[in-house]
Structure 1
């Protein structure tokens, strides 16, 4: 299903305008020890989220910021749309329902009343979140909804998040990479520590309703990755569908259309989309520090093995 670009762009523009009026120190707030952007969510919203009611057929997409969740969102929406083959009237109904949400497409975004409005979304709902498991509503982890977790090597994630931080009006900027790096390593950035995020999700690595996917492997063979996603969620597509969607959702295709789909946010969101960009910024000491941190936090875990750290994070 296509997102309503007009509604999405207006919501973004409103948030950017609001952020311009907020002093730097007021751009973030802390909730249960984790920082969040104040212009897109609030403590009241995160409290209200605890009572969110997941449906059994909800499609949950989870991932830390800048691990590729926007790309994954577009892929899954295209797969779901090809599977359902909605009529024009059904498509209009879905788009109209999304318009009334009046928020970014992330579970933790919006005002506290957004979850009541989400009840009006027709099934199947595709729901994105950057939250770790302990902050997800009980109905998601204990219900029957399936969760697709996207992970990306932490070095490229750190670099991508650095550029995003410095270009995104709703987040405070850093003066340099060297100032940003310790903040990322210690979790003093929005959505907290990526390492804590991974440690927590590793506890669910064998959960029957949760599948983990690598950003890097999806980049290397998008069609095979999409087939894995379709099988997990029970989507039925033809070989032609997969090739058509892969072409439509390539990084370059989405970047080329980003002004139309995301407005001014497009230039911020779609930067390079490559694997290995971390080598341009990491110093030798920073490289070694992250290697030690990853080993201390996740060494020997199933999640670490699936992420192939030694393949994507070694110079």
Structure 2
């Protein structure tokens, strides 16, 4: 079908209304602002902060659930519940509130490694990083665009795929994120896990995360937290925990849904991109691309 130039103009105008560019990446205006990002550069991280780093739609809310439950379980005061936040969301005034928040503070970010506040590294903050195979990540982000009023809609998967492959989506290129973490995955205070490994054995994953943050819990507590973090359990509570956006956050939670969207040509294109960026690397092996992304 011949492309309608007016539709393309309308899409571009909508994108301009909803997104802004900061240091080469796109961000949603309804959630973020350049002013907040500038203040965030001076954010004071703590050594005992519980920090999650993820590319969008790679398991962020899943790990937030796990981390929040872990932190709450080990909290010394039953009257003080750990406060969760997406670090780059909202107005900059919130950082003053965070300064006075008790430890452990639990927060997540979608920022690229190079854009994280410098104090995160200076303070020795531990960073849990979750990554997901790029094909499922792309499909999940495509649907999130179409269900989230803060983001432009895509009427056609093919258009989204083109933008995803060149990094013209929110928070930038998946592959740029992955390449950066591959360089730093062996640094002290960094644990990289995958969405697929959590799906394979959630109890083992929760225990691994607890051990990394030195949370001492019983086997029964670990299993209880894992049960609350299953996809079905989280989707059932989505409206309660996330409000109207809840159903957009929890769609399928499957591994391999990409096969319902990728054409053979698109699959080959992403295979080549993965080979270019990550084949032969430690992170590339951890992602098990041949297992999860080859038909």
- In structure 2, stretches of 5+ residues that fail to align are 1-12
1:299 to 250, 259, 279: 279
Higher RCO (CA 8 Å, separation ≥ 6 residues): 1
Q: Does 1:44 align with 2:35?
A: yes
Partner of 2:5: none
Specify which of 80, 84, 87 is matched with residue 90 of structure 1. 80
- The answer to whether structure 1 residue 249 and structure 2 residue 229 are counterparts is yes
Structure 2 match to 1:203 = 183
Answer yes or no: is 1:273 the counterpart of 2:253.
yes
Deviation at 1:253? 0.6
CA distance in structure 2 between the aligned counterparts of 1:195 and 1:38, rounded to whole angstroms? 23
Distance 2:172 2:131 in 1: 15
> Pairwise CA RMSD of aligned residues?
1.3
Matched residue SS, 1:140? helix
Give the direction of change, closer, same or farther, for the CA distance of 1:23–1:162 in structure 2 (3 Å limit): closer
- What stretches of structure 1 of length at least 5 have no aligned partner? 1-21, 99-104
The match for 1:141 is: 121
Pairwise CA distance, 1:114:
2.1
Q: How many Å separate the matches in 2 of 1:51 and 1:281?
A: 42
CA deviation digits over 1:214-263, x for unaligned, max 9? 11010110000111101100001111111111111110011011112112
Scaled by the length of structure 1, the TM-score of the pair is 0.87
Cα deviation code 1:167-201 (max 9, x no counterpart): 10000011210110010000001100000010111
State the alpha-carbon separation in 2 of the partners of residues 90 and 208 from structure 1.
Answer: 29
Give the corresponding residue for 2:159: 179
Distance 1:84 1:260 in 2: 23
**What is the aligned length?**
283
Equivalent residue for 1:61? 52
Q: How far apart, CA to CA, are the structure 2 residues paired with 1:49 and 1:250? A: 33
Classify the secondary structure of the residue corresponding to 1:273. coil
**CA displacement at 1:131 relative to structure 2:** 0.4
1:310 and 2:294 correspond: no
Distance in 2, matches of 1:173 and 1:116, equals 34
